């Protein structure tokens, strides 16, 4: 088992494909140990895609200071906290990727990203497990 | 392989972390055998988070009796049935969690929940597989 | 490891449970090598469910030509491209299903579907891994 630490600095996608080091053949599972960020596989070509993704989720789940979200009650950890938990429910906590001869079997345009939902900087912990 | 049965009594999150019994080191996969409930990993500290989560999804996917959902056609199993299938698409059917020496490698604030989307009581079946 | 090719012809759910051939006991992971389609487990009984699912996601994430989506910037690959990436974030890229004696441990009403988000026909590649 391995642990990857990813430093974030506000909402958005953080590429970490190149940090992932695998050997042999099997299945790699990546698991993020938090409930206010996510792991996603997304297009690795045009950075516009990553910005658009973040903006879509920011509109689908706005901060609790937005009148549309006035029904939310868990507000004492900041206006971005409960929306972060909702995004963490909507997006994956873990990814499983087949590995062949030490190579992740990602498609040509697929990259691995940590999707940070909180505003404050965080150090995020991702566990990597090969089976 | 193990089977966990979880009794539900209306929409909401049902904690089941303490039911999950693992030994050894590897990867635990939990798989729910239904298309109208989900498995989620969420904050286990403040119960407000669980109530807010349920309310968010109730607003994102209201019952088919809501005029906003009049385009839905699968209504004969009740106004909560098709919304339950939509929520079951948006939220996970399975979770994979690394295990070390018989301990789930969850983060401090992470708990396992069955998220029930139907109104009527159900007994839900979750398969646990270690690899 | 196996590769399943699935031909699509516009947005919607394509059943492929019957294509999946497994032996022995373990965990099957299916992984789709694209960022503009998804894998979902859904009700296999009434085809209305599949139509309703597609319509829900078409309304949640309309084409970039819709004024509501004017904030999206990644438009040069067509009005259905960025919405396809968003749907691919909201819905699973991989499924893990326990297998016992060569039989997928799906519930009675669960079927496997590739959910195509693009308008143009595509040949989609799904990797199957047993562990």
Specify the pLDDT at position C11: 98
Per-residue confidence (pLDDT) for residue B92, from 0 to 100:
98
Q: What stretches in chain A show pLDDT beneath 50?
A: none
Provide the pLDDT for residue A114: 98
Report chain C's mean pLDDT, rounded to a whole number: 97
* Band of pLDDT at residue B67, cut at 50, 70 and 90: very high
pLDDT at C7: 98
Residue C89: exposure state from Cβ atoms within 10 A (0-12, 13-18, ≥19): buried
Return the pLDDT at C113.
Answer: 98
Helix axes B47-60, B81-90, angle to 10 degrees: 120
Q: What integer pLDDT is reported at residue C97 of this predicted model?
A: 98
Cβ-Cβ contacts under 8 Å, C32 against chain A? 107
User: Mean pLDDT over residues B90-99, rounded?
Assistant: 98
d(CA C31, CA C36): 13
C18 class by beta-carbon count within 10 Å (0-12 exposed, 13-18 middle, 19+ buried): exposed
Which of B48, B31, B54, B41 shows the shortest CA–CA distance to B118? B54
Chain B interface mutation, best of C51, C56, C93, C114, highest count of B Cβ atoms under 10 Å: C56
Q: What is the pLDDT of residue B72?
A: 98
Residue C102 tokens read as 């060569």
Chain A contact set for B59 (CB, 8 A): 71
Say if residues C30 and C130 touch (Cβ distance below 8 Å): no
Q: Which of C35, C71, C123 to mutate to test the interface with A (most CBs of A within 10 A)?
A: C35
pLDDT at C55: 98
Q: Which residue matches tokens 């938990």?
A: A85
Best residue of A97, A99, A114, A129 to probe chain C, by most C CBs closer than 10 Å: A97
Q: What is the mean pLDDT of residues B19-23?
A: 94
Return the pLDDT at B18. 94
pLDDT value of residue B123: 98
What pLDDT, on a 0 to 100 scale, did the predictor assign at position A116?
A: 98
The three-class DSSP label of residue A68 is helix
What is the pLDDT, as a whole number, of residue A2? 96
Helix (H) or strand (E) holding A103: strand A103-104
pLDDT of residue A108: 96
How far is A34 from chain C, CA to nearest CA, in Å?
18
Q: Cβ contacts (< 8 Å) between A125 and chain B: which residues?
A: 107
What's the average model confidence in pLDDT over B78-88?
Answer: 98
Residue of C95, C112, C83 lying closest to B92 (CA atoms): C95
Distance from CA of C13 to the nearest CA of A (A): 20
Nearest CA in chain A to B46: A74
- Using DSSP's 3-state secondary structure scheme, residue B76 falls into coil
Complex-level ipTM beyond the 0.95 threshold: yes
- Closest-CA residue to B109 (of A70, A91, A125): A125
Query: How many interface pairs between A and C have CB atoms less than 8 angstroms apart?
Result: 75
Q: Give per-residue pLDDT as tens, C75-93.
A: 999 999 999 999 999 999 9
pTM of the model: 0.98
Q: What is the reported pLDDT for C31?
A: 98
Cα-Cα end-to-end distance for chain A: 10
pLDDT at A59: 98
**What pLDDT is attached to residue C101?**
97
Residues 26-85 of B with CB under 8 A from A: 26-27, 40-43, 46, 48-49, 51-53, 55-56, 59
Q: How confident is the model at residue B8 (pLDDT cuts 50, 70, 90)?
A: very high
Percent residues over pLDDT 70 in chain C: 100
């Amino acid at each position: 088992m391995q642990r990857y630490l990813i430093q974030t600095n506000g909402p958005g996608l953080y590429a970490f494909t190149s940090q992932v080091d695998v050997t042999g053949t099997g299945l790699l599972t990546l698991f993020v140990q938090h409930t206010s960020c996510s792991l996603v596989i997304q297009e690795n070509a045009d950075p516009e895609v990553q910005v658009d993704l973040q903006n879509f989720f920011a509109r689908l789940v706005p901060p609790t200071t937005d009148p549309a979200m006035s029904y939310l009650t868990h507000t004492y950890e900041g206006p971005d906290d409960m929306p972060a938990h909702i995004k963490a429910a909507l997006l994956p906590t873990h990814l499983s990727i087949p590995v062949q001869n030490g190579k992740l079997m990602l498609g040509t345009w697929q990259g691995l990203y940590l999707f940070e939902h909180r505003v404050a900087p965080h150090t995020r912990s991702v566990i990597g497990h090969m089976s």
